[in-house]
Amino acid sequence: MPKYLFYNIVIISSHYLYTLIQAVMQLYGYFKGGFNLNKSLKTLLLFGLILGTALLPTNTLVYASTTSNTAKTNTIGNAEPLLKVNKASALGPIGYTPSQIRMAYGLNQVSATGERETIAIVDAYGSPTIKSDLVAFSNQFGLTQTKLSVAYPTGKPNIIDSGWALETSIDVEWAHAIAPKANILLCVAKSNSYTDLLTAIDYATSHGVQVVSNSWSSPEFSYESSYDSHFQHPGVVYLASSDDVGSGAQYPASSPYVLSVGGTTLNIDSNGTYESETGWYGSGGGISYSELLPSYQKNLAYMLGNYRGDPDVSWDADPATGAAVYDTTPYWNYSGWFQVGGTSLGAPSWAGLIALFDQVHKNPLSSFDAISKLYNASNLAYSTDFNDIITGNNGAFSCLPGYDLVTGIGSPKANALIPYFSRLKR
């Protein structure tokens, strides 16, 4: 059984009992909905989860503070995928479809497709069925088939990890759903160590991609800024999910050279028409204790002080309003269609959106430049370019008008943001 299914409830803040209860209830909802476990087994698993958290070594606990940037750890841990499964089905798609999501965020009103762009997806372990799964996903939703290349920069993995396999399906399928004519390079790390994952990122950078999506994270560590050079390359934009267990900054999303994607609960009608959006309680977000305030957040110093705030932007992430994903590598003995959320959904989706920005901009953007332009768009025409999410919280932080530490600037109105990037100086 993947260890992160048990460690998902590791304490975000030992100072906030509310956050622990919230995380336990989140995981209870995961077991309650969509998987046919009997009551006794649910009780036993929940008891094991709580006991397992209590017995974790203190140096693995994650601490957050609303008033200070207390160091979380001096050591680097392994990364974990940021997915949340709501339901599984062998009968057909469940969850929001590409056409619904595209309509909700205004993508149905744009002609850009990501043609001649390449999106890199970086995941550990990968999926042995990803190529056939992508074909089935595309056929189901009438999407153009695209070129998917798979690379193993650190060698082929020795195991199949079902959680990372499902993560791989989310990332590849939803990057494709948003930018259907972009090429995809899946860079599979041999393990979930930072050494292997960063090597995979470097491989993607050196092989002509324009966007690199990372749907994984670990707690911040004191020397994380020494790794930021992996995300500073001309013509490449790097993204990362902000985390799925509520308040607290995580790496690499906390890097000022990475577009950090938080999560929302997206409410739409049956056609996909946008109705409302609130901050998802699992959305990672907070103030970094290590990364200094970047210039694009200087107007937020009153909130952030001298350190980087994340996330920058957001996307649907609540598993209850999750998206359809196809994966035939068994996950908890289920295969086929899943309804999946988590900020894992947002990073590849925003990666697809960045590919569309690049296409109309005619010149590949760099990470810092792209993030700066998004903040500038929010300053120039906020309500035109973004959905401002003003309700909801992630434990320690609440959604606010304008920028907040749950949803960042907000979710995109792609029909306005894409023309904005097309007008910028090339």
Give the model confidence (pLDDT) of 367-401 as tens digits.
Answer: 999 999 999 999 999 999 999 999 999 999 999 99
Give the model confidence (pLDDT) of 151-166 as tens digits.
Answer: 999 999 999 999 999 9
pLDDT at 19 over 60: no
* CA-CA-CA-CA dihedral for 360, 366, 369, 374, to nearest 10: 50
Residues 6+ apart with CB under 8 A from 376: 296
**pLDDT in the model for residue 25:** 37
As a whole number, mean pLDDT of residues 103-107 equals: 97
Domains, the chain, with CATH or none: 4-60 (no CATH), 80-423 (3.40.50.200)
As a whole number, mean pLDDT of residues 352-376 equals: 95
**pLDDT in the model for residue 214:** 97
**pLDDT in the model for residue 347:** 98
Task: Select from 330, 344, 329, 414 the least CA-distant residue to 134.
Answer: 329
C-alpha angle 409-243-182 in degrees, rounded to nearest 5: 70
Q: Which residues of 249-263 are buried (b: 16+ CB within 10 A; e: fewer)?
A: bbbbbbbbbbbbbbb
For helices 130-141 and 162-178, the axis angle rounded to 10 degrees is: 40
Percent of the chain exceeding pLDDT 90 equals: 76
**pLDDT in the model for residue 11:** 28
Alpha-carbon gap, residue 263 to 351, rounded angstroms? 15
Judge contact between 79 and 63, C-beta under 8 A: no
**pLDDT in the model for residue 426:** 57
**pLDDT in the model for residue 91:** 87
Question: Which tokens belong to 100?
Answer: 């619904």
Judge contact between 407 and 389, C-beta under 8 A: yes
Q: What is the mean pLDDT of the chain?
A: 85
Confidence of residue 362 (pLDDT cuts 50, 70, 90): confident
pLDDT at 13 over 80: no
pLDDT at 38 over 60: no
Task: Please compute Rg for the chain using Cα positions.
Answer: 19
- List the beta strands (DSSP E) in 250-322: 250-251, 259-268, 274-279, 286-292, 307-310, 313-316
pLDDT at 45 over 90: no
As a whole number, mean pLDDT of residues 219-246 equals: 95
* CA-CA-CA-CA dihedral for 129, 133, 135, 136, to nearest 10: 140
pLDDT at 325 over 60: yes
**pLDDT in the model for residue 49:** 39
According to DSSP, the residues that pair with 217 across neighbouring strands are 80
pLDDT at 62 over 80: no
| Length of the chain (residues) | 426
As a whole number, mean pLDDT of residues 211-225 equals: 94
Confidence of residue 425 (pLDDT cuts 50, 70, 90): low
Residues 6+ apart with CB under 8 A from 25: none
pLDDT at 138 over 80: yes
Give the model confidence (pLDDT) of 262-288 as tens digits.
Answer: 999 999 998 899 999 999 999 999 999
Alpha-carbon gap, residue 153 to 298, rounded angstroms? 37
Confidence of residue 84 (pLDDT cuts 50, 70, 90): confident
Question: For 20-29, 31-40, 63-72, which range has the lowest pLDDT when averaged over its residues?
Answer: 63-72
pTM assigned to the model: 0.83
Give the model confidence (pLDDT) of 289-305 as tens digits.
Answer: 999 999 999 999 999 99
Question: Which tokens belong to 215?
Answer: 């749907």
- List the beta strands (DSSP E) in 38-94: 80-81, 84-89
According to DSSP, the residues that pair with 331 across neighbouring strands are 334
**pLDDT in the model for residue 78:** 84
